[in-house]
Structure 1
Amino acid sequence: MIKVAGTVSAPLPARTAFAYLSAFEHTSEWDPGTAVMEKLTEGPVAVGHRYHAETLFRGKRQSLEYEVIELFDNHIKLRGENDDVVSFDSIDVRSTGPGCDVLYTAEFSIKGPFKLLQPFLKPAFMSLRDPALEGLRQKLHSL
């Protein structure tokens, strides 16, 4: 499994930041690697809520279907999957006085014949981290 993680500080209350980030359809507003993120389930975010994503990876557009698998106390975890990869994305928001810290973690497991290439693909997955964290930082500072 390839793990990519980082923390961003924001001047928002943790509750405000989490309310925005747990509505995963906002991901395309801050992650330059996410071209489309559309909500497939109506109503408030809950376990079982589904999303369709179109992401850009190594110059190619990839479709993933995501489902919320955990949701509690400023924590959300989603499982995304397509024919080539399974992704677990977690967002944890912690209060830091008047602001908050957001820990974003993405874990990727390659499927099928490309599984053998997983160690060699780690740099490509790691290259997604910094632009996403910077986009997240900028978006949270603008809310």
Structure 2
Amino acid sequence: MVRVTRTFTVSTPIEKVVEYLSDFGHAEQWDPGTKTCKRVDTGPVHEGSSWTNVSQFRGKETTLDYRLLKRQPRRLVFEGRNKRATSTDDINLSPVGGGTLITYEANIAFHGVLRLVGWAVQGEFNRLGDRTAEQMTRVLNAL
């Protein structure tokens, strides 16, 4: 398993951050690994909403089907699956001053023989985590 955690602060109020991040389709803007992320269902975003996410890692594209598992005032949990991996994005939020403290944790559990290579890509996922925190900070501060 690969685990990446980053904690950072943005100047945007928590309510606006929750509303924005609840729509995983915005990952195209804040996740440097995401190429496309399209909503599958319709209507207001709610627990159970789903997206098809196409990401690029190590020069290869991979598609995961994501669902919003939890949407709480201070926590969002998304889970993406395909036959090779399960990715969980757990975003915890706290108000701080007029802004928001964000703890973003990504966990990738590989399936089958890929379970054996998780340790080999941890460093690359750490670098991607740094880039994600930087890009998410820029995007959220601009809201």
State TM-score, norm by structure 1. Answer: 0.94
Which segment is superposed worse, 118-127 or 94-103? 118-127
1:13-61 C-alpha deviation (Å, 9 max, x unpaired): 1101111111111011111110101111111221111110000111111
Task: Report if aligned partners of 1:8, 1:136 keep a CA contact under 8 Å in 2.
Answer: no
Structure 2 residue aligned with 1:83: 83
- The one-letter code matched in structure 1 to 2:98 is P
**3-state SS of paired residue (2:53):** strand
Superposed structure 1 runs of 4+ greater than 3 Å apart: none
Tell me the CA shift for residue 120 of structure 1.
1.6
- The one-letter code matched in structure 2 to 1:17 is V
Q: Distance in 2 between matches of 1:103 and 1:74?
A: 11
Map residues 50-65 of structure 1 onto 2, 5 A cutoff.
50-65=50-65
Structure 2 residues without counterparts, runs of 5 or longer: none
Structure 2 residue aligned with 1:69: 69
Task: Report if aligned partners of 1:13, 1:95 keep a CA contact under 8 Å in 2.
Answer: yes
Map residues 1-143 of structure 1 onto 2, 5 A cutoff.
1-143=1-143
Q: Distance in 1 between matches of 2:41 and 2:29?
A: 19
Task: Count how many residue pairs are aligned between Structure 1 and Structure 2.
Answer: 143
Superposed CA RMSD in Å reads 1.1
State TM-score, norm by structure 2. Answer: 0.94
Q: Distance in 2 between matches of 1:140 and 1:47?
A: 22
Task: Report if aligned partners of 2:18, 2:73 keep a CA contact under 8 Å in 1.
Answer: no
Tell me the CA shift for residue 8 of structure 1.
2.2
**3-state SS of paired residue (2:46):** coil
Q: Distance in 1 between matches of 2:135 and 2:41?
A: 25
Structure 1 residues without counterparts, runs of 5 or longer: none
- The one-letter code matched in structure 2 to 1:35 is K
